[in-house]
Structure 1
Amino acid sequence: MTSQTSQIALITGGSRGLGRNTAESLARRGVDVVITYNARADEAQKVVAAIEAMGGKATALQLDTGSVETFAQFAGELRQRLQEIWGRDQFDFLVNNAGTSHHNSIEKTTEAELDALYNVHFKGVFFLTQTLLPLIRDGGRIVNISSGLTRIIVPESGPYGAMKGAVEVLTKYLAKELAPRRIAVNVVAPGAIATDFSGGVVRDNPDLNKRIADMTALGRTGQPDDIGPMIASLLSEDNRWVNAQRIEVSGGMAI
């Protein structure tokens, strides 16, 4: 049986890409994991199986982070799962990772597109965090995922970058408001990463891949293994004094 002192992380969008890499990186450090998935239950179960193969405990719950009306029910399901698997009412780390891509100019973006971005990337992060605050232990940590696109201006990325910018400001306010509970809150901003995000455009387009590599100090595009372990390290006790910070993990893009 897992010790009561085991740490538990909840990672939204943990069935693929950076979320999956983060979940597995935390598991390698001995942190147990709850992941959420939107539609791909089969992929989520692969992550759970991989973590269990490492000797850790993991579980997956369905969640659409753009549907605020479902959050109360999700919190109840999470509390039940925490009790069933760990005998606990709270978890330690929240990683707000789930997201969708968007490529369109400000001029051409529709109201429906902007609403969809807002629902997932800001409103969802805001209210899911609010809903789960009673389940996060005092002294825990929150990591929000932003993007290098809040600093590096790329055509047709304005609406997406603006939502991530809002998350970066929210992070600082959360760090201040949650300080009495000793909950540290930081935001990680990955650069261009070769995953299936945006239809795998960075991973699968050789010309774009080369352009990104050429504008990156370390001379290549990012890989999931550049991000997940960094987030895991940020959640470790070694980084307990890091709070209210935006940390870009881009290999030095556009410097």
Structure 2
Amino acid sequence: MTRIALVTGANRGLGRSTALHLAEAGTDVVLTYRSHPEEAEAVVEAVRKLGRTAVALRLDTGDTSAFPAFVAELRTALKENWGREDLDALVNNAGHGVHAPFVETTEEQFDGLMNVHVKGVYFLTQALLPLIVDGGRILNVSTGLTRFIAAPTSAYAAAKGAVEILTRYLAKELGPRGIAVNAIAPGATGTDFGGGGVRDNEEMRTMLSSVTAMGRPGEPDDIGAAAAALLAEGTSWVTGQRIEASGGMML
């Protein structure tokens, strides 16, 4: 049976790379986007060129009130495209960052981060759990910033710290169903995240290269390939773990 993975926020960046690497490994993809439907459709076409099936659905992971309608839409998409009512894997990737010192972080910024990265992940996973097959996978995207301090991102890192704790609890509670739950923690990676500084600022890239064992910042394919590997069939015995994909940043 064809494996199907749902990847949130997969219209760009790490989510896009994860979706494409999953497709290369033979997995079909349901991807979500909050805005920029044209980017989502481009990913769908790229997946199809790899010989796999893909569907793009709109979802704001910070709006829990939209989850019941999304689940209903997802059920329809699964039935129409695969003749199935379930998923093999969920990747909670969607998110955004806030670069602000602790004393300047606003309550609005804090709430926005928590709604997407903690509350959204918690209740979207809860809503989708009946659709995830026994023996399936859940992969939560965290950050290297829960281990090292590299930017004024206390609220973002705190949210991701909560995700890592949630990962361990889910691994324990879903273990009887054979569902493996892990967190992948990227280091500095060259995407448009946070204004694209890691991708575009040569001074920043030089600094990051100097503190990374592999001698360079990460690229989206580094993370997408690692995520796909963690969802491969041979890694089902790995659960409750935080796996850092940072090239050895700040060891």
Distance 2:101 2:64 in 1: 27
* Gaps in structure 2 of 5+ consecutive residues: none
| 2:217 matched residue in structure 1 | 221
User: Deviation at 1:118?
Assistant: 0.4
| 2:179 matched residue in structure 1 | 183
Distance 2:144 2:42 in 1: 29
Distance 2:214 2:176 in 1: 40
**Aligned pair partner of 1:81 in 61, 77, 86:** 77
Q: Give per-residue Cα distances to partners, 1:80-117, cap 9 Å, x unaligned.
A: 00000000000100000000111111111111110001
User: Deviation at 1:155?
Assistant: 3.6
CA RMSD of aligned residues (A): 0.6
Does residue 211 (structure 1) correspond to residue 207 (structure 2)? The answer is yes
| 1:126 matched residue in structure 2 | 122
Distance 2:191 2:155 in 1: 21
Does residue 240 (structure 1) correspond to residue 240 (structure 2)? The answer is no
| 2:67 matched residue in structure 1 | 71
Distance 2:151 2:250 in 1: 14
Identity across the alignment (%): 56
Does residue 33 (structure 1) correspond to residue 11 (structure 2)? The answer is no
| 1:138 matched residue in structure 2 | 134
Distance 2:84 2:141 in 1: 26
Aligned partner of residue 42 in structure 2, secondary structure = helix
Checking the alignment, whether the CA contact within 8 Å between 1:105 and 1:159 is kept in structure 2 is no
Distance 2:207 2:172 in 1: 39
TM-score (norm 1): 0.97
Identify the range of structure 1 (59-68 vs 194-203) with the bigger mean alpha-carbon deviation: 194-203
1:230 aligned partner, one-letter code: A
Distance 1:194 1:145 in 2: 16
Aligned partner of residue 18 in structure 2, secondary structure = helix
User: Deviation at 1:223?
Assistant: 0.5
Aligned partner of residue 218 in structure 1, secondary structure = coil
Could you say if the C-alpha distance between residues 53 and 155 of structure 1 is closer, same or farther in structure 2, counting changes exceeding 3 Å? closer
Does residue 22 (structure 1) correspond to residue 18 (structure 2)? The answer is yes
- List structure 1 segments (4+ residues) > 6 angstroms apart after TM superposition: none
Identify the range of structure 1 (43-52 vs 154-163) with the bigger mean alpha-carbon deviation: 154-163
- Paired residues, what number? 251
